[in-house]
């Protein structure tokens, strides 16, 4: 029987999740104070810290830093769920690579992490009816970081974009928790019909670089999609597919996102 527990620890309660997020932000601030970046120490709250990071990355002459920073601070202060999600994202980035030490490097330098937090702000703007502002933010993230996430998409926690460059996630896409997406991936739609037209990725899916997943199809939890695959049909949980078009390779009883193993047995019929 497939082991469906992605993590050994039990699911956290809301209180435990808040405590965990607080611990992550406290450790990050401590690391920044010890790092050669003294200007970052002036921010009294994690919200201000994250807002500054994103505003500096995304500012432009039309909407400068002086306009973005207070807007981002306000959204982050009014939406504490973003800070909780961001802390879980940051911890996922920091722990997926055993050679990486601490939270400073992924926070300051990994565009996948930064693009995710900008998406979360844009998602709030979209839900609040400020759609032009949300789309502007989406456009700036695409220009600066090479990652295009529609603000209406629904994305979970601990989502790792590794590194994520060339990633496109469409408007009606749904990506659950603990998913890893590599570079040059499209979660795209097909046709012009209204309603859901983009993929759903369940928990713990690992998607290799150069993959296209198209249409309102479901990729089951724990699935592994090989590099360069073109997926146009649903994928069952805990199975691996590869090729163009993607075909069944094998089944497994583990979570590929825990090992980041994208290797496949030699199969001569895959293109």
pLDDT tens per residue, range 196-209? 899 999 999 999 99
pTM: 0.90
Instruction: Identify the domain boundary among 105, 130, 146.
Output: 146
Q: Is residue 2 part of a domain?
A: no
- Give 14 or 73, the one with higher predicted confidence: 73
* Residue 211 to residue 230: CA distance in whole angstroms: 6
On whether the CB atoms of residues 165 and 141 are closer than 8 A, the answer is: no
Q: Are residues 94 and 138 in the same domain?
A: yes
Residue-number span of the structural domain to which 140 is assigned: 13-146
On whether both 234 and 169 belong to a single domain, the answer is: yes
Q: What local confidence, expressed as pLDDT, does residue 7 receive?
A: 41
- Decide if 4 is inside a domain: no
Total domain count, the chain: 2
Q: What is the CATH number of the domain that holds 115?
A: 1.10.3130.10
Report how far residue 119's alpha carbon sits from residue 223's, in angstroms, rounded to the nearest whole number.
25
* Core vs surface per residue 19-40: b (16+ CB within 10 A) or e: eebeebbebbbebbeeeeeeeb
pLDDT tops 50 at residue 180: yes
Same domain, 95 and 27: yes
Contact predicate 9/76, CB 8 Å: no
Q: For residues 128 and 9, which has the higher predicted lDDT (pLDDT)?
A: 128
Task: Check residue 162 and give its pLDDT.
Answer: 86
Taking 90 as the threshold, does the pLDDT of residue 33 lie above it?
no
Q: How confident is the model at residue 10 (pLDDT cuts 50, 70, 90)?
A: very low
pLDDT-based confidence at residue 91 (cuts at 50, 70, 90): very high
Residue 249: per-residue pLDDT: 93
Residue 39 has pLDDT above 80, yes or no: no
Q: Is there a single domain that holds both residue 185 and residue 223?
A: yes
Verify that 25 and 113 share a domain, yes or no. Answer: yes
Q: What is the mean pLDDT of residues 108-119?
A: 95
**Of 114, 146, 178, which residue is a domain's last?**
146
Domain-located, residue 251? yes
The domain boundary residue, chosen from 146, 180, 196 = 146
* Residue 108 included in any domain: yes
Per-residue model confidence (pLDDT) at position 1 = 31
Is the pLDDT confidence value at 269 over 80? no
Could you tell me which residue, 163 or 209, shows the higher pLDDT? 209
CATH code of the domain containing 181: 2.160.10.10
Q: Is residue 171 part of a domain?
A: yes
- Winning range, highest mean pLDDT, from 43-52, 80-89, 191-200: 80-89
Q: Is 170 within the bounds of a domain?
A: yes
How do residues 203-256 score in pLDDT, each as one tens digit? Answer: 999 999 999 999 999 999 999 999 999 999 999 999 999 999 999 999 999 999
Alpha-carbon distance 83 to 72, whole Å? 12
Listed in sequence order, the DSSP H helices in 59-172 are 65-78, 80-96, 104-109, 111-127, 131-145
Same domain, 204 and 267: yes
1: in domain: no
65 shares its domain with 120: yes
Domain identity same for 129 and 161 = no
Given a contact cutoff of 8 angstroms between Cβ atoms, the answer to whether 134 and 58 are in contact is no
Give domain status of residue 182, yes or no: yes
Are both 271 and 235 inside the same structural domain? yes
Same domain flag for 266 and 159: yes
Average pLDDT over the chain reads 88
Based on the fold, state whether residues 231 and 257 are members of the same structural domain. yes
Q: Could you tell me if 117 and 93 are in contact, meaning their C-beta atoms sit under 8 angstroms apart?
A: no
Burial class from Cβ neighbours inside 10 Å (0-12, 13-18, 19+) for residue 65 reads middle
In terms of domains, do 110 and 162 share one? no
């Amino acid at each position: 029987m497939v082991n469906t527990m992605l993590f050994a620890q039990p699911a956290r309660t809301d209180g435990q999740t808040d405590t965990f997020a607080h611990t992550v932000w406290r450790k990050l601030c401590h690391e920044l104070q010890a790092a050669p970046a003294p200007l970052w120490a002036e921010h009294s709250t994690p919200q201000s810290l994250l807002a500054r990071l994103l505003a500096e990355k995304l500012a432009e002459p039309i909407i400068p830093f002086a306009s973005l920073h207070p807007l981002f601070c306000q959204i982050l202060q009014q939406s504490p769920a973003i800070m909780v999600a961001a802390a879980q994202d940051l911890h996922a980035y920091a722990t997926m690579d055993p050679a990486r030490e601490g939270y400073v490097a992924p926070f300051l330098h990994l565009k996948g992490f930064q693009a995710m937090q900008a998406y979360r702000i844009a998602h709030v703007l979209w839900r609040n009816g400020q759609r032009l502002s949300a789309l502007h933010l989406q456009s700036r993230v695409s220009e600066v970081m090479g990652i295009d996430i529609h603000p209406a998409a629904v994305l979970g926690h601990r989502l790792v974009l590794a590194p994520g460059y060339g990633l496109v996630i469409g408007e009606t896409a749904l990506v659950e928790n603990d998913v890893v997406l590599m570079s040059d991936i499209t979660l795209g739609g097909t046709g012009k019909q209204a309603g859901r037209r983009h993929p759903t990725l369940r928990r713990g899916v690992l998607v290799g670089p150069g993959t296209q997943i198209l249409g309102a199809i479901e990729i089951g939890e724990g699935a592994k999609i090989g590099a360069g695959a073109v997926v146009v049909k649903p994928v069952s949980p805990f199975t691996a597919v590869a090729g163009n078009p993607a075909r069944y390779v094998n089944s497994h009883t583990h979570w590929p996102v825990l090992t980041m193993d994208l290797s496949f047995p030699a199969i001569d019929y895959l293109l």
